[in-house]
Amino acid sequence: MAAVCFMMTLVLYIVATVSFFSYSLRRSEALSKVSLGITVGGFVFHTIALAIRMLGASSSTPPSFSEALSFLSWMIILVFLVVEFRHRIYVLGSFMVPLALVSLVSAAALPESVPTLQPVLKTLWFHVTLSMLGTVGFTVAFVAGVMYLIQDRLLKSKQFNVLYSKLPALDFLDHLNQQSIVLGFPLLTLGIVTGAISANFSRGSYVSWNPEQTWALVTWVFYFVVLLGRLTVGWRAKRAAYLTVIGFAGVILTLVGVVLKGHSALS
């Protein structure tokens, strides 16, 4: 049942991605509603799939990384839908839904056996959830950054095309970028702390400088500087957009680090 729902979600998100892409390039307004409807449909299936998994799993089984990515995808869509229904920026879907899809495809492609951490501990659930919520924050910041840079480019080059008319105002995107980091940063901080505690229980040391931990710390420092720069010396607008796009690479590398660690642990 869960597998069927999961497959349905995957299919619907693929269709929604295609639909949202064509929406961003065409003048049709009807397509926005269709794309949004498909996304909501996928989201419902995904919610059911996750709920079945949650009910089936006991708190003593460690969450697999595949499940964590699936959760990440679910959260991205949830945040998208919330922003969408508040601000009606359909074109956001052209950026967010593909990211959720990538996350979901990764979840499907990874073997179930890649664990987040070997030991069986309740703190692990906190670690995974908080880190993933933090990742959602940075994902939204990344999307806002990309959209900002596109709109900035279009305005500067005076290309008033379809995308220009669909993208929201620059200061809205800048604000969205800031809010996402402000929310994502403390979550990542807590995610790292709980991760370190879990690691201490299982390995006896808080930090072992594996790729996952290294990248997580690098990312943390990076966003800390970005946030500080914004609040003190005015790293906003275009610079903030660039920085968050770069910072997202750190987030991705951290996630890759988790997979690598999982593989080495298995072998």
Using CB atoms within 10 Å of the CB of residue 190, give its burial: 0 to 12 exposed, 13 to 18 middle, 19+ buried.
middle
Complete DSSP assignment for 84-142: HHHH--TTHHHHHHHHHHHHHHHHHHS-TT-BS-SS--HHHHHHHHHHHHHHHHHHHHH
The stretch among 41-49, 107-115, 160-168, 189-197 that binds another protein (CB under 8 A) is 160-168
Q: Which listed residue (37, 119, 186, 234) binds another protein by CB under 8 A?
A: 234
- Asked if residue 237 binds another protein (CB under 8 A), the reply is yes
- Asked if residue 246 binds another protein (CB under 8 A), the reply is no
- Asked if residue 151 binds another protein (CB under 8 A), the reply is yes
The stretch among 54-62, 92-100, 109-117, 166-174 that binds another protein (CB under 8 A) is 166-174
Contact 261, 64 (CB under 8 A): no
Q: What is the closest distance, in whole angstroms, from the C-beta atom of residue 86 to another protein in the complex?
A: 13
Q: What is the closest distance, in whole angstroms, from the C-beta atom of residue 198 to another protein in the complex?
A: 40
Q: Hey, which residues between 24 and 83 contact another protein (CB under 8 A)? A: 29
Nearer to another protein, 230 or 261 (CB): 230
Question: Who's near 203: CB < 8 A, 6+ residues apart?
Answer: none
Q: Which listed residue (155, 225, 246, 266) binds another protein by CB under 8 A?
A: 155
Using CB atoms within 10 Å of the CB of residue 81, give its burial: 0 to 12 exposed, 13 to 18 middle, 19+ buried.
middle
SS3 64: strand
Q: Which residues bind another protein (CB under 8 A)?
A: 29, 151, 155-156, 158, 160, 164, 167-172, 174, 233-239
